[in-house]
């Protein structure tokens, strides 16, 4: 099973809170600059996958928080906790880091 299916199964199977907590732990440990890069990737992937609203939300978050990298990390954590299904738009290595925390 690939990580996209794992994320979908976790969200649909009632593990969204565990996925959100894992996302918080994963992002908290990353340097802020790396978080911004992952958010850029997620926005591009969301746009390419026909989710322009998600892409726009992520881009706006980046633009609004670019001045303070730690604030961007906090915003990313809040966004992922509220929308764990969006994890599927991130790079495979990012998503896998989250999935590994709930396995």
pLDDT, one tens digit per residue, over 59-89 is 999 998 877 888 999 999 999 989 888 988 9
Rounded mean pLDDT of 47-59? 96
Domain count, the chain: 1
Both tokens assigned to 89: 């738009």
**pTM of the entire structure?**
0.87
Write the burial class of residue 12 (CB in 10 Å: 0-12 exposed, 13-18 middle, 19+ buried).
exposed
Q: Which band of pLDDT confidence, cut at 50, 70 and 90, is reported for residue 1?
A: low
Does 1 or 31 have the greater pLDDT score?
31
Domain range for residue 25? Answer: 3-8+17-102
């Amino acid at each position: 099973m690939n990580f996209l299916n794992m994320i979908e199964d976790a969200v649909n199977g009632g593990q969204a809170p565990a996925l959100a907590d894992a996302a918080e732990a994963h992002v908290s440990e990353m340097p802020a600059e790396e978080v911004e890069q992952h958010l850029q990737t997620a926005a591009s992937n969301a746009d390419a996958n026909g989710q322009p609203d998600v892409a726009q939300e992520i881009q706006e978050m980046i633009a609004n928080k670019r001045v303070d990298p730690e604030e961007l990390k906090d915003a990313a954590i809040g966004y992922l906790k509220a929308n764990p299904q969006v994890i599927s738009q991130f790079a495979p290595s990012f998503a896998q880091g989250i999935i590994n925390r709930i396995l």
